[in-house]
Amino acid sequence: MENQLEPSNPKGDKSSQTKKIKESIKSLEKELNEIQESCQHTEYKVANCPKENSGFSLKRVCKVCEKEIGYPSQDEIDSWASL
Ligand SMILES: [Zn+2]
């Protein structure tokens, strides 16, 4: 029976690496959430945000925390389009 680690994988197994990365993402997302929760969203920009099923859509995005805070008005869409 052969039961050896791949020689091209000297730094340990990928699954523990994956776990670590996922934990980091989780804690970073939590941190981001806290920032977005405490943000007043006083300034926003109109940005094209990717959507899961239908390409892109314009959203109001906070300049500070980058949270999507709603949809732009028609005027804002027009001036975004004319940039
Ligand atoms: Zn904000």
Q: Tens-digit pLDDT profile for the chain (83 aa)? A: 566 655 565 567 999 999 999 999 999 999 999 999 999 999 999 999 888 887 888 999 999 999 999 999 999 999 998 87
Cα of 59 from ligand 1 centre, angstroms: 13
Q: Which residues contact 76 (CB under 8 A, 6 or more apart)?
A: 46, 58, 60
CA of 16 to the centre of ligand 1 (A): 34
Is residue 8 in some structural domain? no
Q: Is residue 3 part of a domain?
A: no
Domain residues for 54? 15-81
19 is a domain residue:
yes
For residue 63, what pLDDT is reported? 97
Instruction: Answer yes or no: is 76 within a domain.
Output: yes
pLDDT score for 54: 75
Single pTM value for the model: 0.67
Give distance in angstroms: CA of 80 to centre of ligand 1.
20
Q: For residues 17-48, b (16+ Cβ closer than 10 Å) or e, as one string?
A: eeeeeeeeeeeeeeeeeeebeeeeeeebebbe
pLDDT at 79: 92
| 75 CA → ligand 1 middle, Å | 22
CA of 41 to the centre of ligand 1 (A): 4
- Count of structural domains within the chain: 1
